[in-house]
Structure 1
Amino acid sequence: MHTKIRFTGAGDSLLQSEWRQPGTANPIAPPAERPVVRRTLGPAALHLGARKASVAQERNRARDIVSAAKQELANTFEDVRFGRGLSVDKLWPLVSGIQASISRHPSAVLGVTRLKDRHEYTYVHSVAVCGLMISLARQMGLPPASHHEIGLAGLLHDIGKARVPTMLLDKPGPLTPDEKDIVRNHALWGYEMLIEGQRDAGSNSRLPQIVLDVCLHHHERVDGTGYPDRKRGEDISIYARMAAICDMYDAMTSARVYKAASSPAEALEYLASNPGKVDAEILRHFSVMIGIFPVGSLVRLRSDRLAVILDDPEGDSIAPAVCPFFCIQTKQTLPLRRTAPGLDPIVGIELPSRWNLSCWPETRAAILAQFSGEAATADSVMIDIN
């Protein structure tokens, strides 16, 4: 059961002079000292009617869209923080702009959001999660009518961080247990902010249930170790399970004051090697959507064979060379041969624990060595699978 928290303005817990933008050291002026002047974003600013063009042109459009979304999110965070109410009408066009860009060139928005200044991390991260969730929904074949709401859920998933002190968001060292508790409150705080904000804004700004659910539950984990409700498995909605992967991936691939950015391959490898934290089936869709497979990853091919991603400097990260070694249907090991990219498409990353692969790190290393010339024959590779 959740504790009800009412947000009536900056005076709830901090002095108005103490409020800061997430990721900055500069106080925000109180509402009375800062007139609210907002520009309206039209279709042209968000390139809503643009035709498909080159990747370079779409990347320039994506920069405009991300810049507009960043500013509108900063305004939204401030409005909710100071109890002005939440205007969903201003956010829907942003989601439409991001969705339109993804439909023209899926990589453009995601490429632009990879570059984050630490002073605006919270906002650009929210845009990135919005784009990742829309792309994932497309990859999973979810009804197109739901993509817009799923995107808005990504855009607002971290709004509760408006209540988290900046010094904790940007702390260079490890958080204390008490500080971790404060940061973890952002999921519940965000949910309460959205409920309170839409109540103040009236019936014209009702939020879809998907948005509220993702805000509250994007830190739940399928093994029950997440927060705030320690939900497990399918008790967590599919949208919150999608958000968990998108949120973790973008956070891992972003540089922060307290850590360097992981590569996309490293992030996918981490997610795949931690069974129980994220939904394995959704992760398979996500890895195909991202189109980057780390060397040595265990993958399933369309032919229902397990394979290892090979190191191929001249290859394609979207369709890399693989070495199939086990047939799922016949439950037989296979002769080790390099398979050319695209002949047997990858359908997703697999977890070694799912297939009871004994000594998987050693097996993987041996297969990779076989194709780097370090092992003489395929017979030198022993594969133990139960």
Structure 2
Amino acid sequence: MVDNFGSDKKSYARENLVKIPVGQVEIGMFVGELDRPWLGTPFLLQGFEVRSKSQIRSLAEYCQHVYVLKDGVPLKGPEVPVSRTMPPPPKKNVGTLLPMQRSRPGRAPQVIKPLVRARPAYEVLEPVRYEHAGARNVLDAGRVNVKGLLKSAQMGQMLDTEAAESVVDSCVGSILRNPEALLWMTKIKDMNEYTAEHCLNVCVLAIAFGRHLRMSEEELRLLGLCGLLHDVGKMRIPSEILDKPGRLTQEEFAIMKQHTVVGYELLQEQSTSLNTAALDVALNHHERPDRGGYPRGLGERELTEFSRIIAVVDAYDAITSNRCYAPALPSAEAQKIIFENRGTQFDEAIALQFIQAIGPYPPGTLVELRNGMAGIVLAGKVRFRHLPTVLLLRDANKQPMEERTVELDLTDTGTLSKEFLVKRTLPDGSFGISLRECRVQHEPVFL
């Protein structure tokens, strides 16, 4: 089976489609949209006519409902291949004018670059298993340093920007060797340390996403620094609002929204060596292309690329984390929310590329297979995004077993039973499986 993934550009207006359960799909119907991004499915075409029962069975495996073309609506032409190689073109961006921005002599005007850079893709330099121990050390040290940075911000002290840059450098190094290991570590969550973990996770996810976009190492370091410092203003928000377990009142939300301006002003007070991109992102990461964001209601053409990237990454990590007012959602649900809000809350091209980069089952995702066995996703596949490499840690009866590795893409060739396909994702701690306690063996033992 050919396996191509990529663009999720809409082909039909929603009023020309009707939502039906997968069980009602019949041969001859034209499926225009799914209830999830096309990327997380094995379908070659974005929009296709159902021509066999096997296609209906495949739809049932991945979707609960679909959107089919209404009777009498003509087809627009050939079905659209879902291609990895040609992302949707980014819309023109003229940059953001920051209030009270300090003069930086000799700084060149912003150059508009294509979203996916015209340079070779990064190669994996280290097997994911060998990178795991180092990635764990990087994240543990990073958490200590980030807590110190946020404490300084809370106390009104100068930030140790060199320490921040050191954290970013370590993250960039690990991600350039192999991004899968550090992405696994971002799945280890502690609700009591949410703000510090969130800042570090956004840093890691942004760098990994930048690697997917083929950004230069210099760009990766700057993007990572922007992610690390984006929420620093929250340290000046009263804790009774920041940590409130229920819904904020209108007055409380107005105070919470001030963290963007406060963060900008706080970073503005720092050493002149701090790149203005970090100030821009702190101020604008809650702005939206449709002008519905804050603090200034800017539009798409007024937002820099980095602020639009961090907006997506920030939302993804927040949605997949346990917060004082909302439980964590699975990665696929977070991606679905981002997908559904592309073009309004999130930059469309960036949202689609991010979904492509993360995949439906990112490293560190706990999964249960159809056969009842359970384990943790070790790494994704470039072509078969929905068929990752899984470390099996529980047998079909949910009893502990010796670690075994299974390559789910073998189900596509018939080498492996389809009973090894993912049935569902699980929260950390399910069946006694702990991401924090798991230590990956250097040498795989295959099932």
TM range (shorter): 0.5 to 0.7
CA spacing shift, 1:3–1:138, aligned 2, 3 Å: closer
* 8 A Cα contact 1:249 1:268, kept in partner: yes
* 8 A Cα contact 1:109 1:131, kept in partner: yes
* 8 A Cα contact 1:222 1:278, kept in partner: yes
Q: Which has the higher helix share?
A: 1
Identify the match of residue 72 of structure 1 among 139, 145, 153.
Answer: 145
User: Separation in 2 of the partners of 1:181 and 1:126?
Assistant: 22
Offset of residue 289 of structure 1 = 1.0
Match of 1:168 in 2: 241
Offset of residue 317 of structure 1 = 6.8
Match of 2:163 in 1: 90
User: Separation in 2 of the partners of 1:293 and 1:106?
Assistant: 14
Residue 286, structure 1, aligned to residue 354, structure 2: yes
Residue 181, structure 1, aligned to residue 254, structure 2: yes
User: Separation in 2 of the partners of 1:161 and 1:84?
Assistant: 15
With 88-97 and 148-157 compared, the bigger mean Cα shift is at 88-97
Q: How does 1:120-139 map to 2 (within 5 A)?
A: 120-139=193-212
Offset of residue 96 of structure 1 = 0.9
* 8 A Cα contact 1:118 1:256, kept in partner: yes
What do residues 212-244 of structure 1 show as CA deviations (whole Å, max 9, x unaligned)? 111111111111101111111121111000000
Identify the match of residue 334 of structure 2 among 267, 292, 296.
Answer: 267
CA spacing shift, 1:180–1:317, aligned 2, 3 Å: same
Residue 63, structure 1, aligned to residue 136, structure 2: yes
User: Separation in 2 of the partners of 1:293 and 1:110?
Assistant: 11
Offset of residue 87 of structure 1 = 2.4
* 8 A Cα contact 2:290 2:299, kept in partner: yes
* 8 A Cα contact 1:221 1:231, kept in partner: yes
Match of 1:102, SS state, is helix
Residue 196, structure 1, aligned to residue 264, structure 2: no
Identify the match of residue 291 of structure 2 among 182, 203, 224.
Answer: 224
**Post-superposition, which runs of at least 4 consecutive aligned residues in structure 1 deviate over 6 A?**
1-4
Match of 1:192, SS state, is helix
| AA in 1 matched with 2:329 | S
What do residues 17-41 of structure 1 show as CA deviations (whole Å, max 9, x unaligned)? xxxxxxxxxxxxxxxxxxxxxxxxx
| AA in 2 matched with 1:291 | G
Offset of residue 270 of structure 1 = 0.8
Runs of 5+ in structure 2 lacking a partner? 1-96, 101-123, 363-368, 372-378, 388-410, 414-447
Identify the match of residue 152 of structure 1 among 225, 242, 263.
Answer: 225
User: Separation in 1 of the partners of 2:225 and 2:380?
Assistant: 30
* 8 A Cα contact 1:218 1:244, kept in partner: yes
Runs of 5+ in structure 1 lacking a partner? 5-50, 295-311, 323-339, 343-386
Match of 1:197, SS state, is coil
Match of 1:219, SS state, is coil
CA spacing shift, 1:192–1:129, aligned 2, 3 Å: same
CA spacing shift, 1:313–1:222, aligned 2, 3 Å: farther
CA spacing shift, 1:101–1:2, aligned 2, 3 Å: closer
TM-score (norm 1): 0.61
Q: CA RMSD in A?
A: 2.9
CA spacing shift, 1:176–1:140, aligned 2, 3 Å: same
* 8 A Cα contact 1:160 1:188, kept in partner: yes
Match of 1:326 in 2: none
| AA in 2 matched with 1:248 | A
* 8 A Cα contact 1:287 1:293, kept in partner: no
Offset of residue 119 of structure 1 = 1.8
* 8 A Cα contact 1:83 1:197, kept in partner: no
* 8 A Cα contact 1:268 1:293, kept in partner: no
What do residues 248-270 of structure 1 show as CA deviations (whole Å, max 9, x unaligned)? 00000011232211111001111
User: Separation in 1 of the partners of 2:288 and 2:328?
Assistant: 23
Match of 1:277 in 2: 345
| AA in 1 matched with 2:293 | G
Match of 1:68, SS state, is helix
TM-score (norm 2): 0.53
What do residues 81-114 of structure 1 show as CA deviations (whole Å, max 9, x unaligned)? 3333122112211111111111122122222122
Residue 143, structure 1, aligned to residue 216, structure 2: yes
* 8 A Cα contact 1:172 1:257, kept in partner: yes
Offset of residue 63 of structure 1 = 2.0
Structure with higher RCO (Cα < 8 A, 6+ apart): 2
User: Separation in 2 of the partners of 1:313 and 1:283?
Assistant: 30
CA spacing shift, 1:317–1:273, aligned 2, 3 Å: farther
Q: Which has the higher strand share?
A: 2
* 8 A Cα contact 2:150 2:196, kept in partner: no
Residue 215, structure 1, aligned to residue 305, structure 2: no
What do residues 263-321 of structure 1 show as CA deviations (whole Å, max 9, x unaligned)? 11001111111231101111121111102279xxxxxxxxxxxxxxxxx969x975257
With 134-143 and 120-129 compared, the bigger mean Cα shift is at 134-143
Offset of residue 141 of structure 1 = 2.5
